[in-house]
Amino acid sequence: MKNLKYLLIGMLFGIILVKSEVISWFRIQEMFRLESFHMYGVIGSAVITGILGVLLIRKLGIRTISGEAIVLPKKPFTKGNIFGGLIFGLGWAITGACPGPLFAQIGSGFTVVIVTLLSAVAGTWVYGLLKEKLPH
């Protein structure tokens, strides 16, 4: 039951992704063709809001609702940030979806994206298989 709240937050997140049209393959094309500000506006204002939110949490010493200290996980640098980032970027422009929007595209009725999602799971699995052999 404690996970139900994450289902609800996920629903809100999904509604925002759909209503802002960031799950649209067309919007991704428009962004990478530099023909619309929309996607840059969404991502840019999301980052600024996120920075301010995290800053407030730190400055005010806000804790979680159950009273724990808030932990901000570190993302250590690896060469994967570059190689993996480029591979993901190339794929993002094809599917018109990063992982979050994949789930939202399926929910929006484009059920064939289930195949894309399963392929993404396969890609993740193959990464796990080859991890030790890849440059990091």
Partner 1 sequence: MNPIQEPWPWYVAGPLIGLTVPLLLIIGNKALGVSSSLRHICAACFPGKIPFFNYDWKKESWNLFFVGGIALGAVFCLAFMHNGEPVQLNEATITALKAQGVQEFDELMPGDIFNWGNITSPIGLLFFVTGGFMVGFGTRYANGCTSGHSIMGLSTLQWPSLVATICFMAGGFVMTNFILPHLMKWLLL
Site for partner 1 in 32-61 (CB under 8 A): 32-33, 35-54, 56-57
Q: Which residues contact 102 (CB under 8 A, 6 or more apart)?
A: 95, 113, 116, 117, 120
Site for partner 1 in 74-113 (CB under 8 A): 74-78, 80-100, 102-113
**Binding residue (CB under 8 A) for partner 1 from 59, 61, 73, 133:** 73
Two tokens at 97? 């979806």
Contacts of 13 (CB under 8 A, 6+ apart): 100
Shortest spacing between CB 103 and partner 1, in angstroms: 4
The footprint of partner 1 on residues 13-32 (CB under 8 A) is 13-32
The count of chain residues that interact with partner 1, using the rule CB under 8 A, is: 117
Output the CA–CA distances (angstroms, integers) from residue 121 to 11, 99, 124, in the order listed.
21, 10, 5
The answer to whether residue 128 forms part of the interface with partner 1 (CB under 8 A) is yes
